[in-house]
Amino acid sequence: MRLKMNSLTSAREILIISSLSLFVDSIGYGIVVPILPMYVLSLGASDFDLGLIFAMFAIIQLFTTIPFGLLSDRYGRKPFMILGMLLLAASFSYFPFAQSVAALIACRAVQGLAASATWSSALALVADTYSGTDKGEKLGIVNGAVGVGSIAGPLVGGVLGDVNFGLPFFVVGFVAIIIFFYMMIRLRLAKKETMKVSIPFREMLGRAIKIRNILIIMLIHIMVAIFFGFIEPLMPPYLTGRFNMSRTEIGLFFGIAFLTFALFQPIIGRLSDKFGRKIFIVNGLIALCIINLLIPYASSVPLLFLLLGVAGIFWSFTFTPLMPLAVESLKSENMETFGTASGLFNLSYTIGYSVGPILGVLITSYFGFESIFWVFSGMLVVMIIITQTLIIEKRIFVKNRFLKNTLKRS
């Protein structure tokens, strides 16, 4: 079972196009954080409505990310990457005109559909293209672009949102259209970018989720998504109430963590290519467990920003090695269905993000805002134990470059 990948577009340009599409999608994901919660509440919506609007993005992904991944393995990556940009532009063009909870839910639903199409195909295309020992580094570059987009998103949303609520949505929608046409013209993949042997979708999915590492990666993603589902709708009102932050400052707050996250991803990707994935994942989880408990008790804005910056570094420790580990785990079982892997990767995130906002509202309503950080640290402890005990790395990582070259020659 081999994926034919005779691309007419160079590997470097494929990396650029994939990074661009995920960069724009990440900007769209981030711009809503500093502006949408206050806008929703200004419409007279309840906290539950706010949680539902944020959760709808992931709920739609929950039902679409796996089908898109399976289909991209079967029919190729390009159609779904193009579809993702088109849907993103459509949803963001309508956001400024949405003046009811139902309309905002619809916008978030289309945005979630766009993310499913983009993520299930773009990451898989990079994994197809870079199948050698540098895949951790290349996937780290793509995830770095995601991090930069995540930085730009809250900042763009905050700064432009202070000018006009609709302006950041129009800007991102316009950029998505440009990327759409760029991919139409420049992304030229071979017609045989399909599976040689068409495995039934159910069998393909079943074989993937029976791999232990894949299940653990999914659990980590679920946990991460629950945390972001906690803080993204609830943190902006908290920061406004406690520190009197503006939308721009709130955007900077989220942006600082994504900045360090983006900067360290290619570095961690390269290091994990040499020394292994597990060591970075486990140590990242341990550091995050400690930092997480300090965040709600930060007494000043500079200290809060410092903690977020350090947290971003260790998010890169945990997150960057996950996709390369998934790819290696599939290859060890003679499976190169990277679209399916990417779909599972995104599915697990959407499961967590679907329940995170609503669960966060319920927890804070009964136990206070700080309690969500204690809950998350408890989840981190469980994942540290599971990861350290159960993840298996079948690949032999060679630390010494001379020894590595010797093994290649032999």
Residue 197 lies in a domain: no
Q: The domain containing residue 52 runs over which residues?
A: 11-184+204-409
Q: How do residues 194-229 score in pLDDT, each as one tens digit?
A: 444 455 666 767 777 788 888 898 888 888 778 777
Which pLDDT does position 1 carry in this prediction? Answer: 36
Q: How many residues does the chain have?
A: 410
Which pLDDT does position 132 carry in this prediction? Answer: 63
Closest alpha carbon to 277 in 328, 228, 233: 328
Which pLDDT does position 316 carry in this prediction? Answer: 86
3-state secondary structure of 200: coil
Q: How far are the Cα atoms of 69, 127, 346, 409 from residue 122, in angstroms, in the given order? A: 10, 9, 12, 34
User: Taking the model in full, what pTM does it have?
Assistant: 0.66
Residue 193 lies in a domain: no
Number of domains in the chain: 1
Q: Which residues neighbour 399 within 8 Å (Cβ) at sequence distance 6 or greater?
A: 274, 275
Question: Which domain CATH number covers 239?
Answer: 1.20.1250.20
Residue 6 lies in a domain: no
Residue 217 lies in a domain: yes
Average pLDDT over residues 247-273: 79
Which of 5-9, 313-317, 343-347, 382-386 is the least confident region?
A: 5-9
Q: Within a 10 A sphere around the Cβ of 48, how many other Cβ atoms?
A: 13
Decide which of 163 and 338 is more confident: 163
Q: How do residues 146-168 score in pLDDT, each as one tens digit?
A: 777 777 777 788 788 888 888 98
CA 397 – CA 374 distance, rounded (Å)? 36
Tokens read off for 363: 């927890």
CA 321 – CA 316 distance, rounded (Å)? 8
Which pLDDT does position 212 carry in this prediction? Answer: 86
Residue 241 lies in a domain: yes
Tokens read off for 85: 């940009």
Residue 189 lies in a domain: no
Decide which of 142 and 403 is more confident: 142
Q: Within a 10 A sphere around the Cβ of 322, how many other Cβ atoms?
A: 24
Q: How far are the Cα atoms of 119, 129, 327, 405 from residue 3, in angstroms, in the given order? A: 18, 10, 13, 28
Q: Within a 10 A sphere around the Cβ of 12, how many other Cβ atoms?
A: 10
Tokens read off for 167: 């302006």
374: left (phi over 0), alpha (psi -120 to 50) or beta: alpha
CA 161 – CA 355 distance, rounded (Å)? 27
Residue 173 lies in a domain: yes
Q: Is the pLDDT of residue 176 over 90?
A: yes
Q: 117-153 in b/e burial notation, b at 16+ Cβ within 10 A? A: bbbbbbbbbbbbbbbeeebbbbbbbbbbbbbbbbbbb
What are residue 195's DSSP bridge partners? 3
pLDDT band at residue 332 using 50, 70 and 90 as cut-offs: confident
3-state secondary structure of 34: helix
Q: Which residues neighbour 32 within 8 Å (Cβ) at sequence distance 6 or greater?
A: 157
3-state secondary structure of 277: coil
Q: Is the pLDDT of residue 306 over 50?
A: yes
CA 262 – CA 316 distance, rounded (Å)? 8
Decide which of 100 and 355 is more confident: 100
270-271-275 Cα angle (round to 5) = 130
Residue 392 lies in a domain: yes
pLDDT band at residue 113 using 50, 70 and 90 as cut-offs: very high
Q: Is the dihedral of CA 242, 292, 257, 28 positive or negative?
A: negative
Which pLDDT does position 198 carry in this prediction? Answer: 54
Q: What is the mean pLDDT of the chain?
A: 80
3-state secondary structure of 3: strand
CA 19 – CA 145 distance, rounded (Å)? 6
pLDDT band at residue 279 using 50, 70 and 90 as cut-offs: very high
